[in-house]
Structure 1
Amino acid sequence: MPIDAAKALAAEPRTGEISWTPKDVLLYHLGIGAGIPATDPDELRYTLESRLHVLPSFATVAGAGSPGVISGLSMPGVEVDLARVLHGGQSLTVHRAIPPEGKATATSRIAAVHDKGNAAVLVLRTDVGDPEGPLWTNDARIFVRGEGGWGGERGPSARLDPPAGEPDLTVERPVREDQALLYRLSGDWNPLHADPEFAKVAGFDRPILHGLCTYGITLKAVVDTLLDGEVGRVRSYDTRFAGVVHPGETLRIRMWRQEGAVRVAVSAVDRGDAPVLADTIVQHA
């Protein structure tokens, strides 16, 4: 079996040093659509180094996106075909504000391996901290088609009860035709997001947007509209990737206020509101 669950879980964590600069943060913000309108003071918080606020989802690419989904596929006990891999979900816990520039230690390991029958799900956990203490924890849920069925534990369901009533706010965010090409410069070089021939091998008629790009676009929308633009209020952010986004489409982002949280659902306007992000929740102060 290409995935040896016992070996993957028993493997020693990988630890490495990562660093980032304001340039990396600015590039990430542009990659998730910040800067429109270019002179809007609210957008300049994301695009001008002299007043830079770091959106917490930057944690998913800090250090040029490593360790990340692709690095998780090189862990001991894991040997899979990249064309069978999809990013199934992502959770982020922010322990304190991410500085615009920093150096930190990232420790990553396979925290769980679930057998979904027709697929396997790997949970890659990365803890990041600096000399002042923990910064953030990322959990990437990696969905590998065709690698289940060995009799392992199915794992918990990521499904939440749908939010009640009409959303408190709905916004739409256009995705640029070149959004995936720009976003991949932050470190996710998977050819699925750029190479039409590779996309066809993976079962798509054309390259798709990174799930983590949609993840960032969505968090920015929540922060900008319901959290008064205050990035420091975000405590955690969890989502399940329910469908693909094609560059050039428009995202519809529905938000429901809850006590200390915002529930979110994201769909593709151009494809009859096809689900994109589901079971999504932003916990906040």
Structure 2
Amino acid sequence: MPIDAAKALAAEPRSGPITWTTRDVQLYHLGIGAGIPATDPDELRYTLESRLHVLPSFATVAGAGSPGVISGLSVPGVDVDLAKVLHGGQSLEIHRPIPAAGTATAASRIAAVYDKGKAAVLVMRTEVADAQGPLWTNDAQIFVRGEGGWGGDRGPGTRPDPPTGDPDRTVERTVREDQALLYRLSGDWNPLHADPEFAKLAGFERPILHGLCTYGITLKAVVDTLLGGDVSRVRSYRTRFAGVVYPGETLRIRMWRDPDRVRVTVSAVERDDAPVLADTVVEHS
């Protein structure tokens, strides 16, 4: 069997240093659409080094996204066809605000392996800490089609109930035609997001936007709209990738406010509100 769950779970964490600078943070923010209008004081918090605040989703690319989802699968007990791999979801826990520049240690391991019958789900956990202590914990949920069925733990069986009633806020964000080309400079060089021929081979009419770019665009919208632009209020953020986004499309972001969390759905306006992100929750102070 290509996935040996016991072996994967027992493997030692892969640890290494990561570093980032204000330039990396600025580039990431530009890659998720910050800086429009360029002179808006609220946008300068994301783009001007003297005022720079770090959106927590930067954690997904800090240190050029190392270890990345694909490289993170190179562990004992995991030998899969990368063409069958899908990034199914992402969750992030922020232990304290991310500094605008820093050096830290990232430790990555397979934290869970679930048998979904027709697919296996690997939870790749990355824990990052600097000299002052823990910074963030990232969990990437990776679906591997065709690798289930060995009788293992199916994992969590329920998803949160979808929001009901009218959203408290709805905003739309236009994805620029060059958004994926800019975002990939933060470390995800998958040609699926840039090469039209590669995208067609993968079954798409043209290159698609990175799911983690949509993830960042959405968190920025929540912070700017409901959290007063205060990035330090974000405690955790999780989502399930429910569909693709094509550069040039418009994202419709609906938000339902609870006392200590915001529930969110994201859809593609031009494709009859086709779902993009689901089961999305931002927990905050």
Give the TM-score taking structure 1 as reference length: 0.97
Aligned to 2:21: 21
Aligned to 2:143: 143
Please tell me whether residue 68 in structure 1 is matched to residue 68 in structure 2.
yes
1:1-285 equivalences in 2 (<5 Å): 1-157=1-157, 159-285=159-285
Per-residue CA shift, 1:32-53, capped at 9, x if unaligned? 0001111111111101111000
Runs of 5+ in structure 2 lacking a partner?
none
Separation (CA, whole Å) in 2 of partners of 1:159 and 1:266:
17
Would the aligned equivalents of 1:84 and 1:202 in 2 still touch at CA under 8 Å? no
Per-residue CA shift, 1:225-263, capped at 9, x if unaligned? 100000000000010111111111100000000010000
Aligned-residue identity in percent: 83
- Higher mean C-alpha deviation, range 150-159 or range 165-174: 150-159
Q: Report the AA paired with residue 244 of structure 2.
A: V
The change in CA–CA distance for 1:158 and 1:86 in structure 2 (over 3 A counts) is farther
Deviation at 1:157, TM superposition (A): 3.4
- Higher mean C-alpha deviation, range 251-260 or range 175-184: 175-184
Deviation at 1:200, TM superposition (A): 2.7
Provide the aligned length of Structure 1 versus Structure 2.
285
Deviation at 1:162, TM superposition (A): 1.2
The alignment yields a C-alpha RMSD, in angstroms, of: 1.1
Structure 1 stretches of at least 4 aligned residues deviating more than 4 Å after TM superposition: none
Per-residue CA shift, 1:186-219, capped at 9, x if unaligned? 1112222222233233332222111100000000
Separation (CA, whole Å) in 1 of partners of 2:130 and 2:64:
17
The change in CA–CA distance for 1:158 and 1:203 in structure 2 (over 3 A counts) is farther
SS in structure 1 at match of 2:128: strand
Deviation at 1:82, TM superposition (A): 2.2
- Higher mean C-alpha deviation, range 172-181 or range 149-158: 149-158
Would the aligned equivalents of 1:122 and 1:142 in 2 still touch at CA under 8 Å? yes
Would the aligned equivalents of 1:158 and 1:240 in 2 still touch at CA under 8 Å? no
Separation (CA, whole Å) in 1 of partners of 2:11 and 2:135:
24
Runs of 5+ in structure 1 lacking a partner?
none
Deviation at 1:135, TM superposition (A): 0.3
SS in structure 1 at match of 2:88: strand
Give the TM-score taking structure 2 as reference length: 0.97
Separation (CA, whole Å) in 2 of partners of 1:26 and 1:203:
33
Per-residue CA shift, 1:134-175, capped at 9, x if unaligned? 000000001122222222211113621011210000000000
The change in CA–CA distance for 1:197 and 1:146 in structure 2 (over 3 A counts) is farther
Would the aligned equivalents of 1:105 and 1:130 in 2 still touch at CA under 8 Å? yes
Separation (CA, whole Å) in 1 of partners of 2:178 and 2:56:
23
Separation (CA, whole Å) in 2 of partners of 1:124 and 1:202:
24
Q: Report the AA paired with residue 80 of structure 1.
A: V
Separation (CA, whole Å) in 1 of partners of 2:129 and 2:135:
5
Separation (CA, whole Å) in 2 of partners of 1:150 and 1:265:
34
The change in CA–CA distance for 1:151 and 1:201 in structure 2 (over 3 A counts) is farther
- Higher mean C-alpha deviation, range 154-163 or range 56-65: 154-163
Separation (CA, whole Å) in 1 of partners of 2:86 and 2:198:
14
